[in-house]
Amino acid sequence: MTKRTVEVKLQSGLEARPVAVLVQVASRYESKVYLETNGRKVNAKSIMGMMSLGLDSGETVLVTADGQDEAEAVSSIEKFLKGEVA
């Protein structure tokens, strides 16, 4: 299992469009991928779950992945949340 705390640096936070792209990024990997903040843990491959987090720019989130490509998954999610290419 790979875990990493990441600060959301997307200017608009995680609104509908960025959430849809984040779900696509997470779905590239076979690993189970979760984002956790404020005691809530959601599947990063679930658009409804991700929307329910309502993350804003500047907030921190724990990205967790478990599976054969977990390190790559966490790395890609981190890059996306930091506003880098994923």
What does the H/E/C string look like for the chain? CEEEEEECCCCCCCCHHHHHHHHHHHHCCCCEEEEEECCEEEECCCHHHHHHHCCCCCCEEEEEEECCCHHHHHHHHHHHHCCCCC
Residue 13 has pLDDT above 80, yes or no: no
Q: How many Å apart are CA 36 and CA 64, to the nearest integer?
A: 8
Query: Structural domains in the chain?
Result: 2-81 (3.30.1340.10)
Return the pLDDT at 86.
56
Return the pLDDT at 10.
84
pLDDT tens digits, 15-62? 888 899 999 999 999 999 999 999 999 999 999 999 999 888 899 999
Residue 85 has pLDDT above 70, yes or no: no
Residue 1 has pLDDT above 70, yes or no: yes
